[in-house]
Amino acid sequence: MATQEPSTTAQLTAHALDSALAPLAAALGDRLLTPAAAGFADTAAVFVGGPTRTPAAVARVRTADEVATALAVARETGLPLAVRSGGHHQARHGLVDGGLVLDLRLMDGVDIDPAAGVGHAGGGVLAGAYTAAAGAHGLATGFGDTATVGVGGITLGGGIGYLSRRDGLTVDNLLGAEVVLADGSVVEANAGENPDLYWALRGGGGNFGVVTRLDLRLRELGTVTGGMMMWAPAPATLATVLRTFAEGPDEFAGMVNVMVAPPVPMIPAELHGTPIIMALLCHSGTTAQADEALAPLRALGPVFDGVQELPYPAMFEGAGGPPPGGIGDARTGFLGQGAWAPDEAWAADVIAAISGAGGPAAVNIRAMGGAIGRVDPAATAFAHRDPAFMVTVGKFAPAVEALPAASEWVTAKAEELGFSGRGYVNFMGTATEQDVRNAYPEATLARLREVKRTYDPGNLFASNHNVTP
**Per-residue pLDDT reduced to its tens digit, 428-440:** 877 788 889 989 9
> Which neighbouring-strand residues pair with 228?
280
- Residues of the chain above pLDDT 70, percent: 91
Residues 207-239 pLDDT 10s: 999 999 999 999 999 899 999 999 999 999 999
The CATH architecture to which 110-220+441-455 belongs is 2-Layer Sandwich (3.30)
Provide the pLDDT confidence category of residue 88 given band limits of 50, 70 and 90.
low
Give the mean pLDDT of the chain: 90
Q: Is the pLDDT assigned to residue 3 strictly greater than 50? A: no
Q: List the chain domain ranges.
A: 14-103, 110-220+441-455, 223-433
Residues 263-297 pLDDT 10s: 888 888 988 999 999 999 999 999 999 999 999 99
CATH topology of domain 14-103: 3.30.43
CATH code for the domain defined by 223-433: 3.40.462.20
